[in-house]
Structure 1
Amino acid sequence: MNKKALLEAALFVSDKPLSVQSLTRITKIPETEIGKMLDEIADDTENEDRGVELIETPVGFEMRIKPEYRDNVAELAPFSDLSEGMMRTLAIVAVRQPVKQSVIVRYQGNKAYGYIASLEEKGLVKTEKSGRTKIIMTTPDFEKYFGKSSVEVKKTLEEKL
């Protein structure tokens, strides 16, 4: 079995970023080999005319649709690149914005930090420092991502809370 292909498949099918430790556990590939393979996959997706890219988030690695292709394929799998936890976090932000990070953590637990970082990486939310916490709100890309007005998106997300 091709180890690099297995690693790429694991990243592709996952609905959340995967840490090197998780990838080792899932694929049984030694940690020492995974780093090199991740670099190769990143180079492959960056240098070739590919529709996906490998990105590193604060909580791990993930494959995602390149921004220039996202609008063209969004209707095929809406929200598929957002985990359930990320969707819940995004719903809280959309409904209650601007909202303190501490409020989201109260609802979502400590995983909220990773969800917020991933959503910020995707350009769906922005954060502003406010004392010891952050204030989180949606971005213009949020509305573009969902292909609906913010009022429609907010109504849909309120139902998921």
Structure 2
Amino acid sequence: MDSKGAVEAALYSASDKLSLSEIAEKTGIPVEEVRTAVMDLRREYEERDSAIQIAKIGTEYRMMLRPEYSECTGNFAKAELSGGVLRTLTTIAYYQPVMQAELLKLRGPRVYDDVHTLVEMDFVSKKRAGNTWELTTTKKFAEYFGIGSTKIKDIQAWIKSKSTNL
């Protein structure tokens, strides 16, 4: 088993992003060798214009689908979010920070269950604001959807690029 293959297998099988030291610890490969393997793999995926990328998120790495290929998977990937929950998430992401009371007016009473689900999934965080909650998206939201930024204007631009209804 070669180092690069082991690093690639670790990234592929991980459900979350990994640091170089985590990969090294779990594979028994020295950190510098892991770093070289990750850089080589990233370059190789880029050079062959693969639908898969090894994204750098802060100081960690994650194997994921390139955003431009996400539409191709709609018929194959099992949806983790129902349409209603996804619409609530999109509304929060686009208008953030948004008060739950305002979201209730926009989306109706189902918002309470939707927000609960989204907070449990760590896509949304909530902070007490008087008698309601202020809702914002999390870093995990941006990573999961491959947005590449947690800045509100970048998230809004990404949503606009995916939808003609906003």
**Aligned ranges for residues 22-37 of structure 1 at < 5 Å?**
22-37=22-37
How many residues end up aligned between the 2 structures? 129
* Higher helix proportion: 1
| Percent of aligned pairs with the same amino acid | 17
Structure 2 SS opposite 1:75? coil
Letter in 1 for 2:38: L
The structure with more radius of gyration: 2
> What displacement does 1:18 show?
0.6
> What displacement does 1:127 show?
2.4
Letter in 2 for 1:99: P
Measured in 2, the distance between the counterparts of 1:42 and 1:34 equals 12
Task: Determine which structure has greater relative contact order: mean sequence separation of CA pairs < 8 Å that are 6+ residues apart, divided by chain length.
Answer: 1
Measured in 1, the distance between the counterparts of 2:159 and 2:53 equals 20
Aligned to 1:87: none
1:3 and 1:29 in contact (8 A); partners too: yes
Aligned to 2:143: 118
Measured in 1, the distance between the counterparts of 2:66 and 2:96 equals 28
Letter in 1 for 2:73: V
Question: Residue deviations 1:57-100, cap 9 Å, x none?
Answer: 115101111233221123322568xxxxxxxxx95983894128
Q: Which runs of 5+ in 2 are unaligned?
A: 81-87, 99-123, 129-136
Question: Residue deviations 1:28-68, cap 9 Å, x none?
Answer: 11101011111110111000142211111115101111233
- Gap change, CA 1:138 and 1:48, over 3 Å in 2: closer
1:17 and 1:61 in contact (8 A); partners too: yes
2:4 and 2:37 in contact (8 A); partners too: yes
> What displacement does 1:144 show?
7.3
Letter in 1 for 2:156: T
Report the aligned-residue RMSD: 4.2
Question: What's the TM-score, normalizing by structure 2?
Answer: 0.56
Letter in 1 for 2:125: I
- Gap change, CA 1:139 and 1:75, over 3 Å in 2: farther
Aligned to 2:151: 127
Q: Which has the larger displacement, 29-38 or 12-21?
A: 12-21
**Aligned ranges for residues 5-154 of structure 1 at < 5 Å?**
5-78=5-78, 91=89, 94=92, 97-99=95-97, 104=125, 114-115=139-140, 118=143, 122-123=146-147, 126-128=150-152, 139=156, 141-142=158-159
2:45 and 2:52 in contact (8 A); partners too: yes
Structure 1 SS opposite 2:74? helix
Question: What's the TM-score, normalizing by structure 1?
Answer: 0.58
